[in-house]
Amino acid sequence: MKNSKVYDRPIKPFPEYVQKDITYKLHTLLLALLRPTITPSILQPNILNLSEEDWTRLFTLAAQHGVTALLFDTILRLPEQQQPSRALKIRWALSSEAIEKRHAQQTRAAHELTTLFASHGVRTILLKGLGLSIYYPRPEHRECGDIDLWLDDCDKGNRLIEELGIKINYDSEKHAVFHYKGVMVENHSHLLMPSHRRTERAIDDFLVGEAENSRLAPAGYYTPSPMFNALYLLRHMARHFGTEGINLRHLLDWGLFLRSEQSEIDFEKILTLYAATGYDTVYNIFTALAGELLDEDFTPLLSAVPDPQLKQRVLNDILGFGVYRTPSGNRLTRIGRKTRKLFSCRWKYRTLLPENFWRDVILPSLLFHLKNPKISESKHSARHRQSRSASRLPRKGCSHICTKDICNRLSKNVRSFRFSVRQGGSHVKIRLP
């Protein structure tokens, strides 16, 4: 570990917000249920004496960490007496089905856009998100938000989209945003934002060179090379960890990527880049934690054994991802709350990350919100609506619509629930008691 970044403060097993909002038992249970889905050789846990309230809180926790469908795969394989109530299982099934549909929708959109751009000589690469689902046992159960595309001629690509009659939002300095057949897409003109920092230029130069080695996925879009992702994913995850926090899905992405592609990565070269750019400490910690999550021995991939205390604090921060909620209130209130949130992350820049907290984090964030109040407002509103809809629980007596496939899956695990098949259609109505 670098001398300039030494962590010497005692830490608690879990931060106070975790102790108050979500118990240590639920975190342990979440990890125990997640591992068998990702690593089939791991035995399923025995879930005994878990209350309905605990199951409901576990469902919310799984949604916060982006592993709802993954967890449901394990739950359906548990003995019936260890499973949650039929009402919660139905909601879990509906959420999993929605994730599957969104994955299929995004896959089609990525393929069609790649084909469109290629027909006009524009090369594309699908960044992170959807492209990482190929490493999961069931790719359709990896939750994805939007589609991030890098284009070698972004201006031409954006003109092609506008010729289709699709409105593009150019307010962000990082990318152009539009919606294609119900899917949010971000067209990136840069792999990294232009920066005066030497380390950023070094990373960007490496990524631009590796972009030439992209691979065509069976789904019909191009994904980055393993060497590209070895640097890009790590940096992206580290930046999110510093300002917004990351969740277990980020760790899963990283671990599953390394499990599948480590033989294709020149670790001598990539570790040299980590050390030169200051990302070696965070790489070692994230890789060690991902190995523990997947029950994989990633020790040979490390440049140094992480400090145990620092690694534990990073894990605590990841497990407490629910603390990183989008601030609510008016613009000034949100700026104040976001600033306080950023200040609570100062320890990450003192011990882990190469960026300067004041120059690279606080000042850009403050200037962005002051110069772009409308952008901040629209992003807040969208995230707030999404958060409310994701956390809403079904009421007693309400009805939910799902497909026959869901009912077939549930019929093996739920006793005597009533449903009626719609005449001339494939949907059924499930009535909860």
pLDDT digits 0-9 by tens, 139-189: 999 999 899 999 999 999 999 999 999 999 987 777 899 999 999 999 998
- Give a yes or no: residue 137 inside a domain: yes
Is 102 a residue whose pLDDT tops 70? yes
User: Looking at the predicted structure, is the pLDDT value of residue 373 above 80?
Assistant: no
59 and 133 both lie in a single domain: no
Higher local confidence (pLDDT), 351 or 405: 351
The C-alpha atoms of residue 292 and residue 286 are separated, in whole angstroms, by 10
Q: Residues 43, 118: one domain? A: no
47 versus 397: the higher-pLDDT residue is 47
Asked if residue 289 belongs to a domain, the reply is no
Same domain? 27 vs 78 = yes
Mean pLDDT of the chain: 79
Q: Does 21 lie in the same domain as 79?
A: yes
Tell whether 43 and 80 lie within a shared domain: yes
In a domain, 321, yes or no: no
Q: Is residue 335 part of a domain?
A: no
* Residues 164 and 63 grouped into a single domain: no
Q: Which of 300, 230, 235 is nearest to 264 (CA)?
A: 230
**113 and 182: one domain?**
yes
* Buried b / exposed e along 211-223 (16+ C-beta atoms within 10 A): beebeebebebbb
**pLDDT of 427 above 80:** no
> Does position 344 have pLDDT exceeding 90, yes or no?
no
Q: Which of 201, 224, 247 is the last residue of a domain?
A: 224
* Residue for token pair 């969740």: 247
pLDDT tens, 275-331?
Answer: 998 999 999 999 999 999 999 999 999 999 999 999 999 998 998 864 455 555 566
Is 190 a member of any domain? yes
Quick one: 71 and 127 in the same domain? no
75 and 114, same domain (yes or no): no
Question: Given 197, 224, 251, which residue is the final one in a domain?
Answer: 224
Q: Is the pLDDT of residue 54 over 80?
A: yes
Average pLDDT over residues 363-380: 60
How far is residue 207's CA from residue 12's CA, in Å, rounded to a whole number?
38
In a domain, 293, yes or no: no
Same domain, 144 and 58: no
Question: Do residues 175 and 76 share a domain?
Answer: no
Spatial CB neighbours of 55, under 8 Å, sequence gap ≥ 6: 84, 85, 88
Residues 127 and 78 reside in one and the same domain: no
Q: Quick one: pLDDT band at residue 384, thresholds 50, 70, 90? A: very low
Structural domains counted in the chain: 3
Query: What would the pLDDT profile of 218-242 be if each residue is shown by its tens digit?
Result: 999 999 999 999 999 999 999 999 9
Q: From 205, 224, 243, give the residue that closes a domain.
A: 224
Show the domain range for 124. 109-224
Q: How far is 99 from 92, CA to CA, in rounded Å? A: 11
**Residue 233 belongs to a domain:** no
Q: Is residue 138 part of a domain?
A: yes
Closest CA to 218 of 120, 133, 123: 133
Task: Note the pLDDT of residue 368.
Answer: 67
